[in-house]
Amino acid sequence: MWTSLEPPSATVDPGSVARVRLRVRNTGDTVEEYRLRPAGDAAGWTRVEPDVLRLYPGAEGTAQVEFAPPRTPDSVAGPTPFGIRVEPTEHPEIRDVVEGQITVGPFAELRCELVPLTVRGRWRTKASVAVDNLGNQPLTVSLSGRENGDALTVEPEPTSVQVAPGQAAFTRVNIRPGAVSWVGGTNKHPFTVSVQRAGVPEPTELHGTYLQPSVLPRWAMAVLSLLLVAAVAFVALWFRAVPKVTSSAREKAGAAHKLPQKEEKPSAPAPSKPPEEKPEEKPEEKPEEPAGGDEPKDEGPAQQTIRSGANGGWYLQANGGGQEDGTQIGQSATWTEDQFGRNQWWTIHHYPEDNSVALEPGSAPGGVAQLKPGTNEVELMTADPEQLASGKLPPHQKWRLVDTGNGLTRIVNLSNDECLTDMQNDKGAVSFKCADGPFDRQDWKIAEGQ
């Protein structure tokens, strides 16, 4: 057989379609059927029409090769080799692969989010900027904070990050007030974080609010004023009502001078009676306690709360008290007080053989917090009872607890080795690449109660 690709290379933008022509000639002396199949990295978005050519000896056929890369990070920008496999049915030993090159054009799409939008602190506080690269080429992003005069200082750290296609990066934003508010309630300070993508003149601006409560609330000043008035009134009444102790002392002194003036002989002491012997009191015999006491029964792992180290601690929970599979595992800034059936309580099953744990919510016994397959979202899923008891759960349903050395713990999923991250936006919790140093939204506190 004889094959030809016209043209051998082409260019296509994500979301568009490009076509080339494949020619096949039967140079044998028998009727042959040729099957055409795409091969290579571009095979997922390549189609051949028709995919079968039936040719008589000396005849030539043509097929259309169509390329349609999706507008997603999976369509990596740049040249990509491709191949069309030509397989004769009657003579498979002469099969061939026609090779070419398709160049995918670049596109950029950036999504930024400030989490949380409202932060609170008397002296200083922190926020985070999540940068998602939804394009098909690496992006370099610089961040800067816009200060509200002298009232606020906004400093991103670091000020520049590079994000790979389909990946996300986090940047910490340090916020400090210009002066401490001692009295006067809560002050609101708006602030802005600008995200500038390389090569784009207009930045993306993220707006947030910094709430600065006073060190002494107004009600405390009112209470101190009342206490001061009461103290002044008490002192005034005390000095007006001083008791007259001087005259009373003189009368007692005069009476002391009128005591017996003549000496009296002491009378002979009366014969003393021998003291009566009291019967010895025997100490009360206490009932002997059984040696060692009653040993406590093993009631299994206790239910605990899991709170993030950010902004006072957000509670990990099964959203809405859900019990059905697919319920998002989220976070809340408030304690639900069991109104959803202990959806913020967790039973932590520990498996010593691989030092892993499973997280079972109190509102859904038998379920575990797992990483949703193919994503970085955390959801509720019913687990096999035998696997939950033995620890033979799949990796995306198991976690590893890592001590950070400051009384907090990181929760790392075994399937992708990423840390459970508190998004603090009343949505689902997710897993992201673990930060190299301390990161309060990836550091969790495991406790017996609130």
CATH, residue 395:
2.80.10.50
pLDDT higher for 135 or 425?
A: 135
Domain boundary pick from 183, 213, 243: 213
222 within domain boundaries:
no
| Average pLDDT of the chain, as a whole number | 83
Domain boundary pick from 195, 213, 231: 213
pLDDT given for residue 47 in this prediction: 95
Same domain, 58 and 181: no
Same domain, 73 and 130: no
389 within domain boundaries:
yes
Q: How far apart are CA 331 and CA 317, in angstroms?
A: 6
Residue 56 has pLDDT above 50, yes or no: yes
Q: How far apart are CA 381 and CA 377, in angstroms?
A: 12
Same domain, 32 and 18: yes
Same domain, 345 and 442: yes
Q: How far apart are CA 144 and CA 157, in angstroms?
A: 9
Same domain, 100 and 11: yes
> Nearest to residue 175, comparing CAs of 208, 197, 142?
208
Partnered with residue 66 across adjacent β-strands are 19, 47
147-160 residue pLDDT tens = 766 678 888 989 89
Read off the tokens for 154.
Answer: 């906004």
Instruction: Find out whether the peptide bond into 395 is cis, omega within 30 degrees of 0.
Output: no
Residue 333 has pLDDT above 50, yes or no: yes
Q: How far apart are CA 197 and CA 109, in angstroms?
A: 10
pLDDT given for residue 18 in this prediction: 95
Same domain, 379 and 410: yes
Same domain, 19 and 117: no
Instruction: Find out whether the peptide bond into 158 is cis, omega within 30 degrees of 0.
Output: yes
259 within domain boundaries:
no
pLDDT given for residue 217 in this prediction: 67
Domain boundary pick from 213, 243, 261: 213
Question: What CATH number does the domain containing 193 carry?
Answer: 2.60.40.10
Compute the residue count for the chain: 450
The most confident of 148-152, 197-201, 203-207, 270-274, by mean pLDDT: 203-207
348 within domain boundaries:
yes
pLDDT given for residue 161 in this prediction: 92
pLDDT given for residue 257 in this prediction: 40
285 within domain boundaries:
no
pLDDT given for residue 219 in this prediction: 67
pLDDT given for residue 313 in this prediction: 81
Domains identified in the chain, total number: 3
Same domain, 310 and 332: yes
240 within domain boundaries:
no
pLDDT given for residue 21 in this prediction: 96
131 within domain boundaries:
yes
284-324 residue pLDDT tens = 444 444 444 444 344 457 788 998 888 778 888 998 888 89
pLDDT bucket at 353, cuts 50 / 70 / 90: very high
Same domain, 324 and 376: yes
Q: Which domain holds residue 48?
A: 2-104
pLDDT-above-90 percentage for the chain: 43
pLDDT given for residue 251 in this prediction: 43
252-294 residue pLDDT tens = 444 434 444 444 444 444 444 455 544 454 444 444 444 444 4
Q: In whole angstroms, what separates CA 175 from the centre of its chain? A: 20
296 within domain boundaries:
no
Same domain, 410 and 330: yes
Same domain, 311 and 411: yes
> Nearest to residue 447, comparing CAs of 302, 300, 330, 306?
306
pLDDT higher for 299 or 3?
A: 3
Which residue bears the tokens 């051949």?
A: 48
Same domain, 83 and 115: no
